[in-house]
Amino acid sequence: MGRQFRFYLLPSETNSLIEELRKRFEAKLLLDYSPEFELLEITSPFRTGDNGILEPEMVTARYYLAPPSGHIERRYCAKPDWWAIDSDSEGIEFSGCKCNGAAVAIGRFWYETNFVRDLRLLPKSSEFVKWAEAVYRYTKKSLHFDPAIDAYLGEDAMNFRKNGGELARDIWPNGKVIPA
């Protein structure tokens, strides 16, 4: 069974949240896709671009949060020739909140408590599940839940919305906004 929740955070809020999770829970932030088999750990999902604006570390804005001792599975994808973190891993899939100044895309925390091996459903380690639940509780408490949109919002994202910013389902690389 999977666990997930959705949220809207501006890029600076996303970086702050990840920094806090790294300190409080010793979370590692890993790139979901990479051209090499080795896991690539980064410090934050957004970096300052040449134009001075925070941009996602990777176009897909998808990462994994993993505990210090979590077991991470990798699988090779021939097209487009990269390694990806498998959902059997002991990590929380984290999709970041891309922002173009007028709209912010929804983000998500998601993980499975079980995995399938040899046609059997097996539980992930109890240490991982406890860690993931603690990360979830802390993150949800630090955000504001809006039942009208069934999502959590950061303080800056709430102000962004009040000032006319759009909450979107996605923002494509070409800039097209997909409405929520």
pLDDT category of residue 35 using cuts at 50, 70 and 90: confident
Higher pLDDT, 1 or 66: 66
Domain residue limits, the chain: 2-179
Tell me what percent of the residues of the chain surpass a pLDDT of 90.
49
Query: Across residues 48-71, what is the average pLDDT?
Result: 79
pTM confidence score: 0.88
Q: Among 54, 43, 47, 129, which Cα is nearest to 92's?
A: 129
Beta carbons within 8 Å of 77's beta carbon, 6+ residues apart: 83, 84
Summarised one tens digit per residue, pLDDT across range 108-153 is 999 989 888 888 888 889 999 999 999 999 999 999 999 999 999 9
From residue 6, give the alpha-carbon distance in Å to each of 105, 110, 125, 140, 154. 10, 9, 24, 10, 11
At 50 the pLDDT is: 79
